[in-house]
Structure 1
Amino acid sequence: MPSPWGYRCTNGRCVKHLNTGVTGLVTLNQCKLTCGPFGVLWPRPQTASIGTEVVQFLPRNVALVSKVPEQVETLIKEAFDLFKDNLEKYHPYYVAGVGAPWSVPWEPSSATHTLQVVIKVRGLESYLTLQTDESYQLQLVTVGQVTTATISAQNFFGARHGLETILQLVDYHEICDTLMVVTSASIYDSPVFKYRGLLLDTSRNFFSIASIKRTIDAMSANKLNTFHWHLTDSHSFPLYLKSLPNMAYYGAYSSRQIYHPKEVKEVVQYGRVRGIRVLPEFDAPAHVGNGWQWTEQQGLGKLALCVNREPWQSYCVEPPCGQLNLANPNIYLVLGQIYQEIAKLFTPLDLFHYGGDEVNLNCWNTTTEMTSWMKFNNRNLSADDYYRQWSVFQEKSRQLLTSANNDVEVPGIVWTSHLTEKGRVDQYLNNTQYIIQIWSTGEDPLIAELLNKNYQVIFSNYDAWYLDCGVGAWVGAGHNWCSPYKGWQKVYDNNPHDIALNLTGSAHKDLILGGEAALWSEQVDEASLDAKVWPRGAALAERLWSNPLTDWSEAEHRFIHQRQRLLQRGVLPERIQPEWCHQNEGLCYI
């Protein structure tokens, strides 16, 4: 039955009152749509003016007017179909005209009102790059029985973001059993950061394609734009390669836990329609192992050293161990084949992640293959000489990838590592060819050195943006290494520009491409995936899209509502507060 309570917008908050029938109160959802400067838009737009009135309509009465180049027409139609599907998810009882159990028949005005979406796109761009203009303008105007939402954008990606914003100006009318949309709005929006990512590690534990797609769906609802796919590691090699089938044969956990080429291409296209690049990472020369055991039998020699070697603490950061054998030239033959297939699966590549972290010199320095090769080449066994050979490997990898990508240079991303330590980075990595992804803390002085040497960077500092932290250790007792848990407030307040300013005196806006939260999967699989990432991933999204000057407290009521939306969209996010707090804004405080 209808609620006895109603709401009034007071000082930017929805305040609950007993509905006496003469107080002019509105439903909770209507109040949230129209209250405050940004309503419940997420991430917060650059500018917004939202009307205080709504009009009711049904999901079936939605129409598209497409004014776009022919080259992006198909993408626009696919994105609009997704828009309509998501609208229907907002209406809990909308099934071929069947209303809620207590509802009266829909008013004629509600049953006939049309939401007309006009999309205007000027450019032909249909693949995301670091140069893509993701801005858009959105105007909502209601005249008679038609609400027209006009999206104007430079390209498909901006238009797609506009569709997401329309979805946030719509909600379910609890009493009338319809959807409602604000009657007027004017929004201009564009992201502060070009790179807004989420990393998922699918090697330590396998994640189904369905769970990956669900993650991409949630990313698109928050205007994140990069799904960083950490495909392989020392634990498993779940990617099937036609030219190297033994990699998955020896390296997958089972024959059912393999990503086949058709599935990978499907994920890439799935992300594209949702405004998301799928970025492959093939981590090397460390973080390899299982999957490489076949090479000696095929006459290629040993290409990976220390695979599953014990005691693992002596040869790697976590079990199982494994590192490439730089002494064996056949490594480049196999690596070239891997890159050839990756370039075809993730076409067109605009970025590639080489990994490049956590090399353990003791592994190399205690294997005959490497020590003999180093001495033969007049090298000693010092750290510096090993780093030089590692940098040679990295340069050959870059050349192989370029060749695999039809001789088109691809900006490469590498993790901070021994090669990027103080005083080293410009000896080994060219700042025009590599982007450095920072995984140390936000207080690391290395960040200042990288920026002062004009390296483009992506922030993933573990003290704020590692989402797997704060649980019991998986080797030994106690808590895992990056504890404590990173609450959404910590995620939200982690500002890359402020970190740079504190360390260097400059925000370095031209060099900081953006940021990325990471979910390493030692203690996560798809059963807990959603709750680990969401809604904290939404907090990351507003930080990277809007980079607000305020802290998390201003965003709290919008954040809680966005969590509710994700639930409607089929995601299972962690609960942040009791429902009472969602219905009584501003009263859950310290």
Structure 2
Amino acid sequence: MTGKHSCLGLLVWALLLIQSSQAFFSLPSPWGYRCASQNGTCIKEEKTGISGFTTLAHCKLTCGPHGVIWPKPKTSELGNEVVQFLPSNIDYRISAHPEVSALLREALAVFKNNLDQYNPKYSDGTELWNDQYDSKTVAHKVFIDITVSGMDTHLTLDTDESYTLAVLTKEDKTTATIIASNFFGARHALETLSQLIDYDENTKTLILVSTAMISDSPAFSYRGILLDTSRNFISVKAIERTLDAMAANKLNTFHWHITDSHSFPLYMPSLPKMAYYGAYSASQIYYPADVKHVVKYGRVRGIRVLPEFDAPAHVGNGFQWGPQHGLGNLVVCENREPWQSFCVEPPCGQLNIANPNMYDVLGQIYKEMVDLFGPIDLFHYGGDEVNLNCWNTTDEVTDWMTENGFGLDEKAYYNQWSVFQEKSQDLLTKANNGKKVPGIIWTSHLTEAGRADVYLNPHDYIIQIWTTGVDPLIGELLDKNFRVIFSNYDHWYLDCGFGAWVGEGNNWCSPYKGWQAVYDNSPIKIATNLTTSFDRKLVLGGEAALWTEQADDAVLDSRLWPRGSALAERLWSDPDHNWQPAETRLIHQRQRLVQRGIQADRIQPQWCHQNEGLCYL
């Protein structure tokens, strides 16, 4: 054989080998699954020709009282069978107010896009949809019938997010009937419906639970994720992924800590020098169109975007332009050293309470933020970690305090801090066309034992608790009728457990908070342990916080997820058990997030996902 023919023969042999290899691996899996009804676990066994085995996807969708729905619904009844269908065979009908209908059409587009991402792909990017289907699959229709009675399209603390979802199959048609009192409940129902669907590797089709009845509503009205975009800039695309993941977990509040002493990345048309002096670079700025896009993107996914302007501390870079424009020093202690004496972390800075021009600028910041984020139902004032030594070692402030007879002791500064907060509330109300909305502030020296109701009105303020879950202050705040949001750092600070970013060792709130610790952190149990009696309605919910000293786009998804999913089930379902019964569903929810383009952290080998209940201590 010549060299030419030899090469040709080798090529033909290689092609045949590749084809046979692909044919081999396209055969159905030798493994099958059956549902152990006593504990709702999918058991993996080798198929022996005996009927009763299903694919893993089929088993997970139908096994146990809730299948793989996350967060766990209030009540659910799922059938054992599935139907095969193609995503092109979905149709819908909406009965709702026109504005609600418009939002629902956008939510349905999100729903369909999520389904398109369910099918896996070959390494070359080719989708694993079949090119030939049986006639039954081709003919099967899925019809989504949505009825919304109310007109609400903006979330509030009083929004009813409940829904019912009924799935019924008759011959070649499956109807999913959704009933809700507003857009938000209907959107949640669509998310649940998407979790009754998966890709089947044997038939290379989508499969849907053939019958289901679900009635659902959240345990808490406030279910949030805080993202800090000042310490490190987070791109709009990364924020979109965060909102996508929140929607997949029925979280409803994206708390945007958009500025801090480190940077001021928000461009305000009436105050352009803020971003000019405060942004890290010209490419790391949120323009008005960006903010409005994020707000709309969130709303379509059932999420309020809550703005925070943290003050009077946690300000600095961005305010340097004041003296050049005849406004004097708007901020004191800016970048002052040694920083440990004047703030909790570098760089330092606090608003100059002695300069009346500061309030003019503050009012304009509020007006810009209301215009960008509105209509607002809440506003976060920040209000934590004021360093009295900063004010008390600044001549401009101490001279002003003395001239006005305020004094220079600790109480005098707390009084002026509370005056600042009153003025801030008035300025925000004016910016919001005279409409007062509840303000949220962090626990701080102003809310310490015996102080909160002296300086703050419980009707006007919600206290966000970032101290530990055993802090007696929690009981005192509830006894004084303050509404509270839990973010206790011993369980719900997601930046904990990494190397220190100043000095060495681990960061201040170590150790790392695993998803199990996140899941088991119960606001109601904490409150019950710290006060003899309280109004359950005062506990609005909770929020996991990601401060970004050590995070940016590169690690954002893995910092938040799937630990944010554990938070979501705690706040939506408030289960009466610990994390263990939820583990197999959480592992699947992580898989689902990855299917949808969220780079969620891997928390177990895939073997555990395919062999439920065998990865235990």
Question: Is 1:35 matched with 2:94?
Answer: no
Q: Take 1:34 and 1:430, find their aligned partners in 2: how far apart are those partners?
A: 50
- Superposed CA deviations along residues 484-529 of structure 1, whole A, max 9, x for unmatched, are 0000000000000000001113464110000000000000001000
- Superposed CA deviations along residues 299-354 of structure 1, whole A, max 9, x for unmatched, are 00001000000000000000000000000001110011101111100110100000
Q: Which residue of 2 aligns with 1:22?
A: 50
SS at match of 1:280: strand
Q: Which residue of 1 aligns with 2:528?
A: 501
- Following superposition of structure 1 onto structure 2, how do residues 367-382 of structure 1 map, counting pairs within 5 Å? 367-382=394-409
Which among 168, 179, 184 is matched to residue 141 of structure 1?
168
SS at match of 2:589: helix
Alpha-carbon offset, residue 540 of structure 1: 0.2
Question: Is 1:4 matched with 2:30?
Answer: yes
- Following superposition of structure 1 onto structure 2, how do residues 246-261 of structure 1 map, counting pairs within 5 Å? 246-261=273-288
Q: Take 1:18 and 1:379, find their aligned partners in 2: how far apart are those partners?
A: 81
> Does the aligned pair in 2 maintain the 1:364–1:371 contact within 8 Å?
yes
SS at match of 1:48: strand
Q: Take 2:536 and 2:596, find their aligned partners in 1: how far apart are those partners?
A: 34
Q: Counterpart amino acid of 2:210?
A: T
SS at match of 1:297: helix
> Does the aligned pair in 1 maintain the 2:162–2:180 contact within 8 Å?
yes
- Following superposition of structure 1 onto structure 2, how do residues 484-495 of structure 1 map, counting pairs within 5 Å? 484-495=511-522
Q: Take 2:167 and 2:532, find their aligned partners in 1: how far apart are those partners?
A: 42
SS at match of 1:510: helix
Q: Which residue of 1 aligns with 2:383?
A: 356
Q: Which residue of 2 aligns with 1:480?
A: 507
Q: What is the root-mean-square deviation of aligned Cα atoms in Å?
A: 1.1
- Superposed CA deviations along residues 250-304 of structure 1, whole A, max 9, x for unmatched, are 0000011000001100100100000000000000000000001110110000010
Which among 364, 389, 394 is matched to residue 416 of structure 2?
389
Q: Take 1:537 and 1:88, find their aligned partners in 2: how far apart are those partners?
A: 24
Q: Take 2:536 and 2:516, find their aligned partners in 1: how far apart are those partners?
A: 23
Q: Which residue of 2 aligns with 1:408?
A: 435
> Does the aligned pair in 2 maintain the 1:69–1:124 contact within 8 Å?
yes
Which among 421, 430, 436 is matched to residue 463 of structure 2?
436
Alpha-carbon offset, residue 99 of structure 1: 6.6
Q: Which residue of 1 aligns with 2:542?
A: 515
Overall identity of the aligned pairs, in %: 65
Q: Take 1:104 and 1:406, find their aligned partners in 2: how far apart are those partners?
A: 59
Which among 471, 475, 483 is matched to residue 456 of structure 1?
483
Q: Take 1:418 and 1:166, find their aligned partners in 2: how far apart are those partners?
A: 46
> Does the aligned pair in 2 maintain the 1:497–1:508 contact within 8 Å?
no
Which among 64, 72, 77 is matched to residue 44 of structure 1?
72
Q: Counterpart amino acid of 1:84?
A: K
Alpha-carbon offset, residue 20 of structure 1: 1.3
Q: Counterpart amino acid of 2:557?
A: D
Which among 522, 528, 534 is matched to residue 561 of structure 2?
534
Alpha-carbon offset, residue 381 of structure 1: 1.2
Q: Take 2:465 and 2:99, find their aligned partners in 1: how far apart are those partners?
A: 37
> Does the aligned pair in 2 maintain the 1:141–1:185 contact within 8 Å?
yes
Q: Which residue of 1 aligns with 2:594?
A: 567
- Following superposition of structure 1 onto structure 2, how do residues 316-355 of structure 1 map, counting pairs within 5 Å? 316-355=343-382
Alpha-carbon offset, residue 93 of structure 1: 5.3
- Superposed CA deviations along residues 35-54 of structure 1, whole A, max 9, x for unmatched, are 00110110000000000000
SS at match of 1:196: strand
Could you tell which deviates more after superposition, 529-538 or 505-514?
505-514
Q: Which residue of 1 aligns with 2:200?
A: 173
Question: Is 1:156 matched with 2:183?
Answer: yes
Q: Take 1:27 and 1:507, find their aligned partners in 2: how far apart are those partners?
A: 49
Q: Counterpart amino acid of 1:53?
A: E
Q: Which residue of 1 aligns with 2:325?
A: 298
Q: Counterpart amino acid of 2:223?
A: R
Which among 76, 80, 84 is matched to residue 112 of structure 2?
84
Which among 525, 544, 552 is matched to residue 552 of structure 2?
525
SS at match of 1:60: helix
Q: Take 1:358 and 1:36, find their aligned partners in 2: how far apart are those partners?
A: 47
Alpha-carbon offset, residue 379 of structure 1: 1.9
> Does the aligned pair in 2 maintain the 1:171–1:180 contact within 8 Å?
yes
Question: Is 1:61 matched with 2:51?
Answer: no
Q: TM-score, normalised by structure 1?
A: 0.98
Which among 580, 591, 595 is matched to residue 553 of structure 1?
580
Could you tell which deviates more after superposition, 507-516 or 381-390?
507-516
Q: Take 1:444 and 1:89, find their aligned partners in 2: how far apart are those partners?
A: 44
- Superposed CA deviations along residues 537-565 of structure 1, whole A, max 9, x for unmatched, are 00000000000001000000000000000
> Does the aligned pair in 2 maintain the 1:99–1:177 contact within 8 Å?
no
Q: Counterpart amino acid of 1:584?
A: N
Alpha-carbon offset, residue 91 of structure 1: 2.0
Alpha-carbon offset, residue 112 of structure 1: 1.6
Relative to structure 1, the CA distance from residue 276 to residue 16 in structure 2 (aligned partners, 3 Å threshold; closer, same or farther) is: same
Q: Which runs of 5+ in 1 are unaligned?
A: none
Larger Cα Rg: Structure 1 or Structure 2?
2
> Does the aligned pair in 1 maintain the 2:478–2:534 contact within 8 Å?
no
Q: Which runs of 5+ in 2 are unaligned?
A: 1-25
Q: Counterpart amino acid of 2:85?
A: F
> Does the aligned pair in 1 maintain the 2:119–2:127 contact within 8 Å?
no
Q: Take 1:332 and 1:465, find their aligned partners in 2: how far apart are those partners?
A: 34
> Does the aligned pair in 1 maintain the 2:312–2:386 contact within 8 Å?
yes
> Does the aligned pair in 2 maintain the 1:498–1:507 contact within 8 Å?
no
> Does the aligned pair in 1 maintain the 2:119–2:128 contact within 8 Å?
no
Q: Take 1:332 and 1:411, find their aligned partners in 2: how far apart are those partners?
A: 20
> Does the aligned pair in 2 maintain the 1:497–1:507 contact within 8 Å?
no
Q: Take 2:471 and 2:423, find their aligned partners in 1: how far apart are those partners?
A: 30
- Following superposition of structure 1 onto structure 2, how do residues 93-242 of structure 1 map, counting pairs within 5 Å? 100=128, 105-242=132-269
Q: Take 1:425 and 1:9, find their aligned partners in 2: how far apart are those partners?
A: 54
Q: Take 1:91 and 1:16, find their aligned partners in 2: how far apart are those partners?
A: 22
Alpha-carbon offset, residue 23 of structure 1: 3.5
Q: Counterpart amino acid of 1:4?
A: P
SS at match of 2:178: strand
Which among 296, 301, 310 is matched to residue 269 of structure 1?
296
Q: Take 2:530 and 2:86, find their aligned partners in 1: how far apart are those partners?
A: 53
Q: Counterpart amino acid of 1:307?
A: E
Q: Counterpart amino acid of 1:188?
A: S
Q: Take 2:355 and 2:56, find their aligned partners in 1: how far apart are those partners?
A: 66
Q: Take 1:48 and 1:334, find their aligned partners in 2: how far apart are those partners?
A: 53
Q: Take 1:332 and 1:215, find their aligned partners in 2: how far apart are those partners?
A: 34
Alpha-carbon offset, residue 24 of structure 1: 1.9
Q: Counterpart amino acid of 1:44?
A: K
Question: Is 1:307 matched with 2:338?
Answer: no
Could you tell which deviates more after superposition, 81-90 or 430-439?
81-90
> Does the aligned pair in 2 maintain the 1:500–1:508 contact within 8 Å?
no
